[in-house]
Amino acid sequence: MANEAHLWWEKHARQYQAMAQLPIDIVYGVQVNEDKLQLIGPVAGKHLLEIGCGGAQCGMAFALQGAIVTGVDIAAAQLEFAQELAERQGVAITFHQCDMTDLSPIASDSQDIVFSAIAFHYVDDILACFREAHRVLKANGLFVWSVGHPCAIVDGETLLPTRSYFDTGKIVKGAEVSDEVGFAFAENHRTVGDYLNALVEAGFRVERIVEPDIRPVDPKDPKNWQWGSTPQSLELFPATLIVKSRKA
């Protein structure tokens, strides 16, 4: 994981969780969840690993459906929040602090499902991450994940691109302003092809790609104004890329 992002989350996790008020639900992105898409199906009795779990709201929703859930995240502050929330929800989840590119606490061939939502832009080496997901999955295991759509690079107000789609790589923001620990932030921009080619190279078989069309977009819903989106941008461009794949 990008070190800048790790340190940012350690410093700001509590503030983010208080602001975001994420639901206990299997949410893939803006206005789209598992209830709508039905990509995973019944999970009762299945071993499920959520990587980049953050506050583990998705993992708790899986646990409430009977899954045996493990969550991993690089930030101790996120996992502390997640553990407290799991106790309030009355669900048992095993948590490990580790990078998504090194899932060494998780045994090989041990998971029925690996899930992740809106976390892979923090990963510097996406191929290493996908290879670890492949390692921990059982034969024919399911890998379902989402990222902010690589095409969602428009200004929500002007609807003009903020950069070229082809300008990929790690972008650090804030380091030029302050060297305070946890001030800078980093994320990795990739094309759709970058993600899918890494997935295939790691040994997965792609079963479905979803780019949710959430129209009509309600301008009165505050969720449609989050993270730089506006109802106008959500009418024109997909906000989320979702991939369902399986260990080949």
**Predicted pLDDT of residue 243:** 98
Domain range list for the chain? 3-247
pLDDT of residue 227: 84
Alpha-carbon distance 109 to 139, whole Å? 7
In this model, does residue 89 exceed pLDDT 90?
yes
pLDDT tens digits, one per residue of 54-80: 999 999 999 999 999 999 999 999 999
Q: Tell me the mean pLDDT in the region 161-166.
A: 95
Q: What are residue 25's DSSP bridge partners? A: none
Greatest Cα pair distance, the chain, in angstroms, is 49
Residue 211 CB partners (closer than 8 Å, separation 6+): 149, 238, 240, 241, 242
- pTM of the entire structure? 0.96
- The verdict on domain 3-247 having CATH code 3.40.50.150 is yes
